[in-house]
């Protein structure tokens, strides 16, 4: 009961924050602006995670996680795809923020990794509808996802430093932390369930990224005033 209460409160706050801030940034940002892109990204984050977190909360309050394996698995599949879209949008935010032109090979790479990730997630070998899913496929489908993350870490670290960008100066760190907390869950959560608690700081790393979008809006408003 304590776990159900704590998770439900945390998840409700997180999902509400991501979606509300996303709507706010979309309405306040100009059409096609960086701020609007951040808003879309935040809504994708919150809405996508809701497909997994809401069934999980319901399961904890009712018949348990294993009894609701199918709903949890489908939610996890949807979240896997939306998180991939989250990072792809972040890549285009990087391009626009630092006025990057050309580098078509980099864009092709990011799209190829996105397609590979979604394709791997869609394969039946993942056994999404079962409670104990194959570790091998958990690793395989996260390889292109991790490569996307590494690319974005390097890109933001280089350009934010070069541009002395105070708003995004820690973007690379937020992305790094999200993966450092996520990878042990993929590898060891089946053997040691308590490792699943690392999803909390992972989620907070995503909240930090959304806050950076909010800070970008504030910076833009200050420049306009």
Cβ neighbours of residue 67 under 8 Å, at least 6 residues apart? 59
pLDDT in tens, the chain (225 residues): 777 788 889 999 999 999 999 999 999 887 878 999 999 999 999 999 999 999 888 888 888 778 888 999 999 999 999 999 999 999 999 999 999 988 899 999 999 999 999 999 999 999 999 988 899 999 999 999 999 999 999 999 999 999 999 999 999 999 999 999 999 998 888 788 888 888 899 999 999 999 999 999 988 887 776
Please report the domains of the chain, with CATH numbers, ordered by start residue. 2-224 (1.20.1070.10)
Cβ neighbours of residue 179 under 8 Å, at least 6 residues apart? 146, 149
Q: What are the counts of helices (DSSP H) followed by strands (DSSP E) for the chain?
A: 7, 0
Q: Which tokens go with 64?
A: 């348990």
Residue 103 phi, psi dihedral angles, 5° rounding: 50, 45
């Amino acid at each position: 009961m304590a776990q159900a209460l704590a998770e439900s409160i945390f998840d409700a706050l997180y999902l509400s924050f991501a979606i509300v801030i996303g709507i706010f940034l979309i309405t306040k940002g100009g059409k096609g602006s960086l701020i609007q892109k951040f808003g879309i990204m935040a809504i994708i984050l919150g809405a996508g995670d809701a497909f997994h977190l809401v069934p999980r909360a319901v399961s904890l309050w009712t018949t348990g996680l294993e009894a609701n394996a199918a709903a949890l698995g489908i939610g996890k599949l949807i979240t896997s795809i939306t998180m991939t879209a989250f990072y792809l949008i972040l890549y285009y935010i990087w391009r626009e923020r630092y006025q990057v032109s050309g580098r078509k090979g980099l864009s092709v790479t990011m799209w190829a990794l996105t397609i590979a990730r979604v394709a791997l997630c869609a394969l039946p070998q993942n056994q999404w509808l079962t409670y104990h899913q194959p570790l091998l496929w958990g690793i395989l489908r996260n390889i292109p996802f991790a490569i996307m993350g590494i690319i974005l870490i390097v890109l933001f670290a280089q350009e934010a430093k070069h541009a002395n960008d105070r708003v995004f100066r820690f973007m690379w760190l937020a992305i790094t932390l999200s993966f450092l907390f996520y990878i042990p869950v993929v590898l060891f959560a089946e053997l040691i369930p308590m490792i699943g608690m690392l999803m909390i700081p992972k989620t907070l790393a995503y909240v930090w990224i959304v806050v950076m979008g909010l800070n970008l809006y504030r910076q833009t408003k200050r420049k306009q005033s």
